Amino acid sequence: MKYLKYYITPVLSPIIIIGILLGGHWMWLGFGELLIVMIIGDYVLGEDASKPEYNSPWLIELPLHLALPIIISVLISFAWSAGQGATDFLGIGSALSQIFNYDFIGARNSSIWYHYIGGIVSAGFIVAGYGTNAAHELTHRVKDKIAMFEGRWLLSASCNADFAIEHVYGHHVTVGTDEDPATAKKGENVYTFALRSTISGHFSAWKLELKRLQKKGISIYSIQNRMFSGYLMSIFWCALFFMAGGYFGIFLFLCQAAIAKFILEIVNYMEHYGLSRHPGQPIKPEHSWNTNQIMSGIVLFSLTRHSAHHEKTMTKFWKLDPYEDAPQMPYGYLTTLFICLIPPLWYSVISTRLSDWEAKYIIKA
């Protein structure tokens, strides 16, 4: 069971694909599934601060490597949904109609704008929750070429060329300081933070990449420029969506990418909100908001044990310590994420916890 729990995300992900392909109100199916699994799952299962031993690491790592084929399947399905009339990208609709005796193309053609919003939200959430999150784990393995390949392609689904650079070589060095784009300041709302973090993080990634290229004597225009190659990966997806559904296809891809990117920034916001650190001060568990909610930890590959992740950057997700004494989020990840969207509610929920943190750590800083 301790291995099987991490297969929840890859097992449930096809439900999103099914909803997109069925069309109409079914396009909301994936989003509804995520709400039930994560929010109710956290409420029912509660917390777990145990640290199991795993004797078969490959078995617990496999769900990470299933992320890329699953996200590719989600995107291809969503690209197909952008078609109109007799358009049938890759013959998906005709093939499925013959197998299941259901008019997939007709259902798609009858879908209207609010159905597509469901598809955008569902795709965006799985691209962020599974794709970006798996990429986060994989791109920390900087010496593993396969992991980096998988991680960067997963990030391309959310037009996130900068993350594999800025997050590893920027955020993990400057977290909690004014230099870190991904640390939210006390009193900053999630919307201004997301805009600031997105822009500043992108520029930071460029600076880091230019420094790397200069050090190695490589031209900025080389394909070895990870920012350019990252752009090309996302352009590939734009081209695929255009082939499937024209400009409407590109619109759908960019909308789900924007949702996925915004979710990433909300997560950044709630993981470090208000937790300041002096430059040069060691990065410790108290510089990240932590949670040991069981379902959030399972679905997000222990991203929830964020304090340990920052203290031991290269430690694999299944080896992270729970750190019960670290600053604790008020709820699981998805519940906290939705609270962040209402700034007054977020401030009321987090203010006491942040005041307690300041009383405990600011004096010692």
Q: How confident is the model at residue 236 (pLDDT cuts 50, 70, 90)?
A: very high
Phi, psi of 354 (to 5 degrees): -70, -40
Instruction: Indicate whether 111 pLDDT > 60.
Output: yes
CA–CA gap between residue 343 and residue 305 (Å, rounded)? 24
Read off the pLDDT of residues 185-227 as tens digits, 9 standing for 90 and up: 999 999 999 999 999 999 999 999 999 999 999 999 999 999 9
Residue 85: count of CB within 10 angstroms of its CB: 8
Q: What is the pLDDT of residue 59?
A: 95
* Full residue range of the structural domain in which residue 71 is found: 4-361
Instruction: Indicate whether 326 pLDDT > 90.
Output: yes
Instruction: Indicate whether 300 pLDDT > 50.
Output: yes
Taken in order 305, 311, 316, 322, the sign of the CA dihedral is negative
pLDDT mean over 280-294:
95
Q: What is the pLDDT of residue 365?
A: 44
CA–CA gap between residue 357 and residue 351 (Å, rounded)? 10
Residue 67: count of CB within 10 angstroms of its CB: 27
Sequence-distant contacts of 241-246: CB under 8 A, at least 24 apart:
241/75, 241/78, 241/79, 241/82, 243/79, 243/89, 244/79, 244/80, 244/82, 244/83, 244/87, 244/89, 245/79, 245/80, 245/81, 245/82, 245/83, 245/84, 245/87, 245/89, 246/82
CA–CA gap between residue 49 and residue 254 (Å, rounded)? 38
Q: What is the pLDDT of residue 178?
A: 96
Q: What is the pLDDT of residue 280?
A: 87
Q: What is the mean pLDDT of the chain?
A: 96
pLDDT mean over 311-320:
92
pLDDT mean over 254-265:
99
pLDDT mean over 35-41:
96
pTM of the model: 0.96
Candidate ranges 52-56, 266-270, 320-324, 357-361; pick with highest mean pLDDT: 266-270
* DSSP codes joined into one string, 218-241: --TTSTT-HHHHHHHHHHHHHHHH
Number of structural domains found in the chain: 1
Q: What is the pLDDT of residue 151?
A: 99
